[in-house]
A = this chain, B = another copy of it.
Amino acid sequence: MAEELQVFGFWASPFSRRVELALKLKGVEYQHIEEDLPHNKSHLLLQYNPIHKKVPVLVHHGKPISESLVILEYIDEIWKNNPLLPQNPYERALARFWAKYIEDKVVVAMLKAAKAKIEDREKGLEEAGEALEPLEKELGSKRFFGGEKIGFVDVVGTVVAYWAPAIDEAVGIEMIGSDRFPNIKKWSEEVVNHGVVKQILPPKDKLVPYLRTVLSRN
């Protein structure tokens, strides 16, 4: 390996998968270290991420970085080819805004809807829909959030493009119907069929049963 680079991840985690996607988009080689979650975390993971005790952790020349959005910024600063963030500062700010929006609002609403008890499900789905509306509008007729090329927001957004439909299937709900979110639907197709993205997506026939188990545990 050219550089001493490791990703501590978990096969089903959209958060560690997006870090691996960023590295693959840049053509950077790394070692994947699979964690046995949730009950058998490695000593190294706990040592590298003592605060959150979570994947992903990127370890570069022995130095650990946690939090997937922070890691993506780091990757984009270290390996400058195929930039993930736009070059223009205003466009960069908008990309960071949407990445944060997906993380803080969309993912939270998605999980809430997926974990809702039957009687709260309708409200959960309504909130997930409300969280997705601004994404639908922002996408418009663009191929990717980043324009013609996959970029920062798309990498972060794989959780919506691939994991959301898998959650729908696992739990038997419909968060992203084509009638209400045609732009997100079309963009999701682009994302999941992207040659590099395909390499990091966990197989659906393994992911769906896994999500069903995890989401019903709560």
A101 within 8 A of B: yes
CB pair B51 A134 closer than 8 Å = yes
A26 within 8 A of B: no
So how many copies of this chain end up in the complex? 2
CB pair B67 A97 closer than 8 Å = yes
CB pair B51 A101 closer than 8 Å = yes
Q: Which residues of B contact A89 (CB under 8 A)?
A: 74, 77-78
* Contact size range, A: 20 to 34
A63 within 8 A of B: yes
Residues 41-74 (chain A) with a chain B CB within 8 angstroms: 51, 60, 63, 65-67, 69-71, 73-74
Chain B residue at minimal CB-CB distance from A104: B104
CB pair A100 B51 closer than 8 Å = no
CB pair B78 A65 closer than 8 Å = no
Chain B residue at minimal CB-CB distance from A89: B77
A212 within 8 A of B: no
A96 within 8 A of B: yes
A37 within 8 A of B: no
CB pair B70 A97 closer than 8 Å = yes
A123 within 8 A of B: no
Chain B residue at minimal CB-CB distance from A74: B93
Going nearest first, the 10 A-B pairs with the smallest beta carbon separation are A74-B93, A77-B89, A70-B96, A65-B93, A70-B97, A51-B134, A70-B93, A78-B89, A67-B97, A63-B90
